Structure 1
Amino acid sequence: MGIGSDIGKALMTQVPSMAPGFAVSLLRSVLGFAIDGAPNLPGARRAASKTLSRKEGDVEASIKYLVGEHIALAGAQGFVSNLGGFITMAVAVPANISGVAIVQARMVASIAHLRGYDLDDQRVRSAVMACLLARSEVDQLVKNGDLPSSPMGIATAPVVDPDLEKTVAVRILSVLVGQSAGKQIPQIIGRRIPVIGGGIGATTDSVTTWNVARYARTQFPSRRPR
């Protein structure tokens, strides 16, 4: 299943004893693929620039288009990686976890880039990954003191927090593993009708991606000159 499968397999073998250093390394890889691209996967900058040209320089129209495109991608990869029900669960879970992370990170990075943020800035990269947790999770982490601020605050902080990346990375992997495991329960119940699993995967990943997009659009206000 390509990039997503390779990262996912590594993730699933390490999650039980996952150390912060491993989580950071893995999430950096996901973010690298999302922002810089890979064979057959144009990065966020390229995708944003191409869409902006197509939309005749209209930033918000470009963001709307890219959000729709990535929701469709998340649904498609969710369907493919979850299709097959109980029989393919061992393969589907790792591929889905990494696949949805790459799609969502690419989408958020595209939004940030179009709104005028520097994707080479570590603060912005941490903010992009924090957006994958969506509003309720971030709000809870801020309330508990595990995060210093919202993604907006992280992206514009005066200095880089060296511990922030670890916190965000570990929490994101925990959330993604939980989401993917939750999608498997209905598949087990309906394992005699494997195609049901694909529908559940597609719907769940599409909805979570839409929630991430909605949150990201509030966290990266435009920095472009008027």
Structure 2
Amino acid sequence: MDAVDWGPVPLQITLVAAAFGLTALIGLERRLRRKSAGLRTHALVGTGSAVFTLVSAYGFAPLPGIDAGPDPSRVAAQVVTGIGFLGAGVIFTNRDVVHGLTTAASVWLSAAVGMACGAGLVPLAAAATALHLVSALLLTPLSRRLPRLLGPRALRLRYEDGRGVLRDVLEAVREMELTASVVSTRSTGSPEDPEVEVLLRLEGRTDLGTAAEQLSRVPGVRHVAQEHVDQDDAW
């Protein structure tokens, strides 16, 4: 085997450092929002993706018995698949609400930024990082305001506990061709007269006022009110 070719090493180190720096910015934004995958995770994902891309481009050509030129796409394709499994690890569901999707997407983006740096496309990687920050700083506040601009899309119900009222409520929601997810529940009332208060996020074509009127007629439901609910915090 030939001696190590030190010619491309400065460029390779520069590209890996660029991947580390750019993905650290993505991770810093996630860390400031106290998400499960933060600064170190994103920086490591980006750095590793850059290294894999560089290994695929430079690492196999000098090996004996390999006549064809290097094919970086072989390793790059596997990086994309592997990052999918890593991103799935930060997604979880609590009370029918999905959490972690935005963080999983940012991990996926970090891998793309790292691969772009490894391929020498640093301006593209920098642009992708900038767009992530634009999304975090501008689109997040906008998405939180949209529910208020479009009107309430949630109902807060209070009903008698222990009589299967929630089951009847969800059945009525289904008959109105709406989909419901439980945002929160809490016990209210007294030991002699227990109640449950539930916040339901509703999606569908039926008007929320009509849905509130119909659900107020379900036996055991004592109060129904429309309410705004922010969705972006769940992601």
With the length of structure 2 as denominator, give the TM-score of the two structures: 0.34
Which of the two has higher C-alpha Rg? Answer: 2
Q: Considering Cα pairs closer than 8 Å and 6+ residues apart, tell me whether 1 or 2 has the greater RCO.
A: 1
Which structure has more strand as a fraction of its residues?
A: 2
User: Greater helix share, 1 or 2?
Assistant: 1
